[in-house]
Structures are given as structure tokens and as C-alpha cells.
Structure 1
Amino acid sequence: MSLTTDPATQTTQPAPDPDRVASIKEMSRNHVFTSWSAQGGLDQLPLAGGEGAHFWDFEGNRYLDLTSQLVNVNIGYQHPKLVAAIQQAAGELATIAPGFDSQSRADAARMISERAPEGMSKVFFTNSGAEAVENAIRLARLHTGRHKLLAAYRSYHGATHGAISLTGEARRLGSEPSIPGVVHFWGPYLYRSSFHATTEQEESERALEHLRQTVQFEGPDRIAAIILESVVGSNGILVPPPGYLEGVRALCDEHGIMLIADEVMAGFARTGQWFAIQNWDVRPDLITFAKGVNSGYIPLGGVVISDEIAETFTERPYPGGLTYSGHALACASAVASMQIMEDEGILEHVRDLGERVIGPGLQALTEHSVVGDVRGLGMFWALELVSDKETREPLGAAEMAKIGRACKDAGVWPLIMANRIHVVPPCVITEDEAKQAIEVIGNALAGLT
């Protein structure tokens, strides 16, 4: 199937307003403290609006978005039904404390649990993915009475203290020392295998054996949880090889360890399923989710909790909470977003376009000398670029910047991460738009030679 844009609902792009660009930039430099950045050198693009899979600036430039902002604008910019639902909810009951029940919170929790694997009936709401991770590890520790947490290298779990401690890449280093009890292990990544594997089967088996040994040396009876991204996001769109997630589940079951699936980036249609882990026959004990649940229109996150863990707190109070847990307006936006995904067949569209257009189109780009690997599923893809296909030396920053500029000049906004182009557009991107994006990327790659 394919999605099309209805001209009757199209947003009018405003006339260019360069003076406003200068004003926004000046105020931002003077007053906004921006995440992950040295403040002195910032020169960010002010955005004026967006629609579907496009956004535009105040100077009249319109871009096809391959970033989904932070891989979360899953149903696209300014979806009229979601905007209307938020407006209606704001007029009825904009906010409510966790100590009261609300229709939107109850509906959101029911709808999320119904779409999760069987036996996961309750949802604890947070404001973000990082807060979801914090509460997931607290739930696992309290349920098991253990303290250790195993997390993968090449992972990102958030920027709060516990979540950044679990993160397995360089962004955690500035926040060390970490919370106690965190141990990192190597996950599967065949293109740059830590296990000298040459096939997916070897990579899966050897990564599982490495994890098993890590568990043994850390003491299985001390490990509360293993947390992993069902499909690794920021660190390369690493799709687990066949048998890996099933093997992790079996290892956890063997030792009474909780399995936490971090679905903050991969959930809610991104891979063509409500949760990415549903691409495999695996039920985790806890699922963390956030921005994709309502396309980031209002801050919202949460933890989907297995019935077994929820039972632990039937008589025992859970020692945690948030002022905005289950915020009425945010939950209303999640209800509307999930209904839109269902009504418009967005999950089916993602699976179809990923298998039929995006995957094959990106694979065809391996004809370029700098494309070392292509991997992904659904609307969740990465091209890993190298200066030499034999040595697999990562392509340099200058070349990556040149590719980025060429794409933007052609009206496509890419997501450049290290030596990779992540192709993660809004899940409502049309077939023609997807083909346009792939053509632009191909032309940018050709421009290097």
C-alpha cells in the first residue's frame, strides 16, 4: 500500500522572513543552553513549520526530512487529526495529578498494553525515554532483589544519571562516575564483529556465548536485568541476527534475570510493528517507550510492565513517581496517535515501503565505492560509509559533511552520525518521496568521486 497527501489538508508555507531568522538565532545564543553542544559555536537552523515528511525554514527552503527530528515524528509533522485531538483535550482537561484517574490515561495505558506482547498489562507513564529507563531498572531491581545491570556497548539509553550509565558509547564518559552495578558487554554487529564472525549465525552464537560468560563472571544471582535496544538506533541501526534475542531471553530465564527492551527509538511503527521486538518471538519483562508513541508532539514516555513484575507491587508500594506521570494532555495525544496509525495503515505502509522500496533502493547504492554496509528494516536504515571497502576504514568527517551539504542543497535533510547516513524518515513518507531521497543520497555519494 502507499500513502498519499490530501491537497485539502496541506499547510500553506509562509513567505520568507529572513529578519525572523536573525532574531531567533540571537535570542537562542543569548538565552538557550543547548544539549550535547559547546555553546559558543552553535549555528542552528530555525524552523518555521512542517507537514507530512517535510519541514521548512523562514527563508523559504523546504526539506524532505530523513531524520524525523530525533527519530520520533512517526506520523509526520502537523497531522491534522492529532493537532485537533490535542486541541480538544486541552479544552476538556489539560492536566491532572497521578493521584486521580483520567479517561485519557486509562485509554492510553489500555491501548499500549493491548499492542504489547501478551502478559504485559500495565503501563507506568513518564515524560521521556530516559525516565522510562530509570524506572525500568528500578522495577527490575526491586522485583529481583538484585543490583547488577548488564547493558551493551554501542547503545544509547538516555541522559539521566542511571540511563547514561547504561549507555555504551562515548556520551556517557562526561557523566562518570556512573551508578554502581553497571556492566557492559559486546552485542552483535557482523560488519565490525568483535567475535571474528563471518556469518550471521556465527555472530549470533558467539555474541551469545560472550554474554553467557559475562553473566557467569558477574554472578547470575546478582544480576537484576539485561537491557538492550531491540534494534540498536543511534549507534548504527544494528538489527540483531537470527536467534540472538531468543538466546538472550533463554539466558535470562535460566537465571531469573529480567529482560528490558528499550524501544524508545524503535517502537510505534518505526520497524513496521508496534514494538520492534515483535519482529521476533520474544517477550521481554519490561519495555521502555517514549517519543514515537505520539510522534513527539507532547513529551511522554513509559514502561510496559509484565504481569509478574506488576504483581510484586500489588501490596508493596512502588517507591517512585513523577508529577506529570500520565499527564492528561500527553496521554490524549498518544491515544489519538495510535488510532491514526491504525486507521491509516501506517504499520503496513512501513513494512511494505521498507521491503519493496527503501531496502532495495539503499542496497543498490552499494555500487558506490564508499558504501560498506546497508542494514535496517521498516523505516529504520543506515548506510555505513568507508574510505576503503577492504579495510573498512570509516569515511572521514570532511567527506561526511560534504555528503550532508549535497543532500541539503538538493532539498533532503539527512541524519549524519559518525560515518553513517541514517535513513529514518517519518513513517508517512510516500513512495515517490522515498525514491527521491534515495536518488539524492546516490547523487551525493557520486559527488565524492
Structure 2
Amino acid sequence: MTPQTDLQPDLQPEPQPDAQPDPRPNARPDERAGAAVKAADRAHVFHSWSAQELIDPLAVAGAEGSYFWDYDGRRYLDFTSGLVFTNIGYQHPKVVAAIQEQAARLTTFAPAFALEARSEAARLIAERTPGDLDKIFFTNAGADAVEHALRMARLHTGRPKVLSAYRSYHGGTQTAINVTGDPRRWASDTGTAGVVHFWAPFLYRSRFYAETEEQECARALEHLETTLVFEGPGTVAAIILETIPGTAGIMPPPAGYLAGVREICDKYGIVLVLDEVMAGFGRTGEWFAADLYDVVPDLLTFAKGVNSGYVPLGGVAISGEIAETFAKRPYPGGLTYSGHPLACAAAVATLGVMAEEGVVENAARLGEHVVGPALRELAGRHPSVGEVRGVGMFWALELVRDRETREPLVPYNATGEANAPMAAFAAAAKAHGLWPFVNMNRTHVVPPCNVSEAELKEGLAALDAALSVADEHTG
């Protein structure tokens, strides 16, 4: 990691040394191999969230650190961290070695047994979770973590309903998609799922006609409690929130909001579930985003950054009270691969790397002193940037046609020609060697948490150029 040296970074990338032979495996162009990979993909792979004949997936030859490259030899700086999961970058040698060593020792084993890697991963995660969230139920990913957290909440309370926010994403399985608050829910929505949606605070596009963060917070809490009262508090098992919503727009809640939700849950005997699948494990410059707000949930879901996505792993961190519910009453749920040894070994190694290399501190420092100032400087020069928001390595730029009216650069859930301005922006970023995270009218800046200052400057310079293309659609 490169130490932070200035508070207002020059957005020009630092000079590179004379070209040397590329040591990266599979980095040399191999168009025939790339064509074969693409052909097999198009013939047999069914991609998520996509119209299969309308997509053109990039064939990736390899990745290392904050970069990946294709079979034509083009290298991209990854400002997406995959899907916001490579918190320590690609192919970290210590984690790769840990997976190899675990595979040689014990590749897999059933979940009902005590295993060293599983026990140690649980211990290390529990050390980092807030409050008394000291029991860890392992899942395969974030969506099934949400499934099981809500099942636990319903069984613990004996109540059927769950409240969740619009502008949220909790996963693609049946319960998780129903608590999701974005358009991906619509095709699979079932009114019998016992889910009620409400508006969480977001001052830039306030649903409460608020003019200040304080107003937004107070009115959002009033709206939540009113919704709860009209639904019947005695029917509500849980309120689930992304501590900081991720895919929906990286919207840090105003001061006091999460504490207010905690108070409402305590008042009515409702379980508070915080979804930290995307925000957890250093992404916000803290081990968990809940630490930023001094709030302890009853259940906390995690995945992604727990082992940088190297082997699928997720889980639920469980409070003492809820764990006690199942002390002598069987918990009716489980997964064949719960606490898989390879995934847990990767988690143990990842958490060790993060501690040894100061990855969480790096995210906090560079977020505050490099990314935040640079993005605000870009916003001052580009009329397409309506708002900058974020923390750590977790930032979003709201792109607009008109700053005064806040009209989005593209309509909500735009597709095809209506989405052309965002498509042009993304193409421009890629042409400058930056792989951007684009969702609706936003671009997110979510590089690995151990990204260097030099890499950030390189990416921000490319982002600067791409925003000039977005500017052409303003006015």
C-alpha cells in the first residue's frame, strides 16, 4: 500500500517505469484462447439478471491485486471489486496458499462436525462483530444469510411479517428477493411473503420534503413507526436494513437514524437485522458499518469481504438472546456446505491479511484523504455529477441531466436507448482502462480496500475523462 501523502490528490496518474517483461500469468495476448472461452460461454452459460442474447461478456484471462486483463492483453483497473467483494484484491498469495494448504489437509466435510478452519473462522468473525453477536451460522452467500436471519427472527418472535426499505438489495433467493426494494424484485414478488416496504432516509431524493439531514432523519423515523403501527407491531418479526445501502446507491444514513430504528425495535419487541453483506469487513473503513453508528443489531448478515470472495461464504452473526432461543429447541435450517473448510480457511487467511496489512485502516485513510476530496473536486467541474456520497472505499456519484432539478441522467430502471448516456459513460471509462460499477444513473467507486494511492489516482483520472462524456448529456 502506498502511504497517503497529500490531501488534494493530483488526478493525473503517476509516471510509470520503463516497460519490463510482464510477470503476470496469462497476461500475454492469446486471441484464439479468448475466442474459445467466449464461444463456450455463449453456448452453455446462463447469466444472472440478463437477457441472454443481448449480453456480450468479457472473456477474462487473469487478475491480480486491483487489476484484471482480457485475452487481447487489455488491462483494467477494477473499480467494482468484482461485485464489491474482492476487499483484498485478486489472488492475494497468502489466501491462495491457505486454500491450497486446506485442500491438501481436508478438502470438505459435513457441517455437523467441529473442524479447525470452521471454528477459527467463527472465532475471528465473532471477535470483530459488534456487541454480543458471538454465534456464527455459516451459509454459502449473502442471500441465504438473509434467508436464515429472517427465519430466525420469525421463529424467535413467533411473528410473520418483515419490514424492509425501498432502495435496497438483499439477494436473489425467494425470501431475500421479496425483502429487496429495487426492480429486481418485481418479477418474483409475492404478496403472501409477509413483507412490507417503507422509505428509508435519503436527503438528495427525499420522500419527506426534508431540507436538512435532521429533518430527513426525524421524518423517516416517524414514517417507519407509523407504518409499523398500521401494520400491527405484534405481527412484525423483524426490520431489515442494509447498514449503508450498497447497490441501491451507497446512501449513508443520517446521524441518529439507525439508533432511532434500534429504539423502535426495542419498543415493540422487534428483531433488528443489519445486512452487512456489502458494507462489512473493511469496506467502510471499519470492520462493520454498524461500528460507524455505534448500533448493535440482533442479527447481522455477512458474505463477500469475509474472504474476499475467493471461495463462496456467508453467514449470520447471532445475539445471545436469539441464540438462546435455539439452545434446546432445534433450529430448523441448514446447508450441506455450511462452514465449508476451503471457504473458512480462506476467511481465516483473509482476516489475518487484513489485520497484518492494515487494510481497514487503509480504506478509512484513503477514503477520507484521497477519494472523497477527489470526487468532490470532480463534482465541481462536471455538471453531470449531482451528488457525491460515501465513506472508506464505498462511494457513489449521482449522475444527472440537470443539477437544479436533479433529473437523473437516465430514467429509473432504464434499458435500451433510454440508457444510452450511462452506456456511453461506461464505454468511455473502459476505453481509459477503468472498469466502472454502473447501476441506473449512478457510478460507484468501490475498489479493493487495499488499493494504493497511485492506483486510485490512475482510476480517478480515467473517471474524470469518462465524466466528460456524461457531461455531453446535460443541460
The two structures have a TM-score, normalised by structure 1, of 0.97
Residue 419 of structure 1 and its aligned partner are, at CA, apart by: 0.7
1:35-93 Cα deviation digits (max 9, x unpaired): 11111122100111111111101100001100011000000000001000100010001
Task: Give the Cα separation in 2 of the matches to 1:171 and 1:336.
Answer: 34
Give the structure 1 partner of residue 236 of structure 2: 223
Preserved CA contact (<8 Å) 1:2 1:349: no
Give the structure 1 partner of residue 421 of structure 2: 399
Give the structure 1 partner of residue 450 of structure 2: 428
Preserved CA contact (<8 Å) 1:71 1:424: yes
For residues 248-259 of structure 1, what are the structure 2 equivalents within 5 Å? Answer: 248-259=261-272
Residue 296, structure 1, aligned to residue 309, structure 2: yes
For 1:373, give the aligned amino acid.
Answer: E
Task: Give the Cα separation in 2 of the matches to 1:420 and 1:61.
Answer: 25
Task: Give the Cα separation in 2 of the matches to 1:172 and 1:398.
Answer: 24
Going from structure 1 to structure 2, the CA distance change for 1:311 and 1:319 (only over 3 Å counts) comes to same
Give the structure 1 partner of residue 383 of structure 2: 369
**Aligned positions, number:** 448
Task: Give the Cα separation in 2 of the matches to 1:10 and 1:16.
Answer: 13
Task: Give the Cα separation in 1 of the matches to 2:437 and 2:129.
Answer: 29
For residues 315-354 of structure 1, what are the structure 2 equivalents within 5 Å? Answer: 315-354=328-367
For residues 49-60 of structure 1, what are the structure 2 equivalents within 5 Å? Answer: 49-60=62-73
For 2:69, give the aligned amino acid.
Answer: W
Choose 140-149 or 14-23, whichever is displaced more. Answer: 14-23
Residue 179 of structure 1 and its aligned partner are, at CA, apart by: 4.7
Of 378, 402, 415, which residue of structure 1 is paired with 2:437? 415
Residue 275, structure 1, aligned to residue 319, structure 2: no
Preserved CA contact (<8 Å) 1:161 1:178: no
Task: Give the Cα separation in 1 of the matches to 2:459 and 2:43.
Answer: 35
Give the structure 2 partner of residue 128 of structure 1: 141
Preserved CA contact (<8 Å) 1:270 1:427: yes
Residue 37, structure 1, aligned to residue 59, structure 2: no
Residue 287 of structure 1 and its aligned partner are, at CA, apart by: 0.4
Preserved CA contact (<8 Å) 2:27 2:69: no
Residue 389, structure 1, aligned to residue 403, structure 2: yes
Preserved CA contact (<8 Å) 1:73 1:292: yes
The two structures have a TM-score, normalised by structure 2, of 0.92
Residue 228 of structure 1 and its aligned partner are, at CA, apart by: 0.4
Preserved CA contact (<8 Å) 1:162 1:178: no
For residues 15-414 of structure 1, what are the structure 2 equivalents within 5 Å? Answer: 15-367=28-380, 368-396=382-410, 397-414=419-436
Task: Give the Cα separation in 1 of the matches to 2:269 and 2:198.
Answer: 19
Residue 443, structure 1, aligned to residue 461, structure 2: no
Residue 394 of structure 1 and its aligned partner are, at CA, apart by: 0.7
Task: Give the Cα separation in 2 of the matches to 1:344 and 1:337.
Answer: 10
Preserved CA contact (<8 Å) 1:161 1:179: no
SS of 1:205's equivalent in the other structure is helix
Task: Give the Cα separation in 1 of the matches to 2:216 and 2:426.
Answer: 32
Give the structure 2 partner of residue 14 of structure 1: 27
Going from structure 1 to structure 2, the CA distance change for 1:343 and 1:211 (only over 3 Å counts) comes to same
SS of 1:329's equivalent in the other structure is helix
- TM-align CA RMSD: 1.7
For 2:468, give the aligned amino acid.
Answer: A
Preserved CA contact (<8 Å) 2:2 2:454: no
Residue 2, structure 1, aligned to residue 2, structure 2: yes
Residue 11 of structure 1 and its aligned partner are, at CA, apart by: 3.4
SS of 1:156's equivalent in the other structure is coil
SS of 1:183's equivalent in the other structure is strand
Preserved CA contact (<8 Å) 2:146 2:301: yes
Residue 13 of structure 1 and its aligned partner are, at CA, apart by: 5.1
Task: Give the Cα separation in 2 of the matches to 1:66 and 1:255.
Answer: 41
Task: Give the Cα separation in 2 of the matches to 1:14 and 1:301.
Answer: 31
Task: Give the Cα separation in 2 of the matches to 1:42 and 1:398.
Answer: 15
Residue 3 of structure 1 and its aligned partner are, at CA, apart by: 6.1
Task: Give the Cα separation in 2 of the matches to 1:64 and 1:253.
Answer: 45
Structure 1 residue runs without a partner (length 5+): none
Task: Give the Cα separation in 1 of the matches to 2:191 and 2:60.
Answer: 36
Task: Give the Cα separation in 2 of the matches to 1:212 and 1:167.
Answer: 20
Task: Give the Cα separation in 2 of the matches to 1:316 and 1:167.
Answer: 30
Task: Give the Cα separation in 2 of the matches to 1:422 and 1:25.
Answer: 27
Preserved CA contact (<8 Å) 2:63 2:90: yes
SS of 1:213's equivalent in the other structure is helix
SS of 1:141's equivalent in the other structure is helix
Structure 2 residue runs without a partner (length 5+): 5-19, 411-418
1:346-404 Cα deviation digits (max 9, x unpaired): 00000000000001100111121111000000000000010011111111322211111
1:242-274 Cα deviation digits (max 9, x unpaired): 000000001001111000000001101100111
Task: Give the Cα separation in 1 of the matches to 2:394 and 2:153.
Answer: 29
Task: Give the Cα separation in 1 of the matches to 2:23 and 2:174.
Answer: 42
Task: Give the Cα separation in 2 of the matches to 1:253 and 1:133.
Answer: 21
Preserved CA contact (<8 Å) 1:29 1:42: no
Going from structure 1 to structure 2, the CA distance change for 1:139 and 1:165 (only over 3 Å counts) comes to same
Residue 12 of structure 1 and its aligned partner are, at CA, apart by: 4.2
Preserved CA contact (<8 Å) 2:234 2:268: yes
SS of 2:338's equivalent in the other structure is coil
Preserved CA contact (<8 Å) 1:225 1:257: yes
Task: Give the Cα separation in 2 of the matches to 1:98 and 1:349.
Answer: 35
Residue 433 of structure 1 and its aligned partner are, at CA, apart by: 1.1
SS of 1:398's equivalent in the other structure is helix
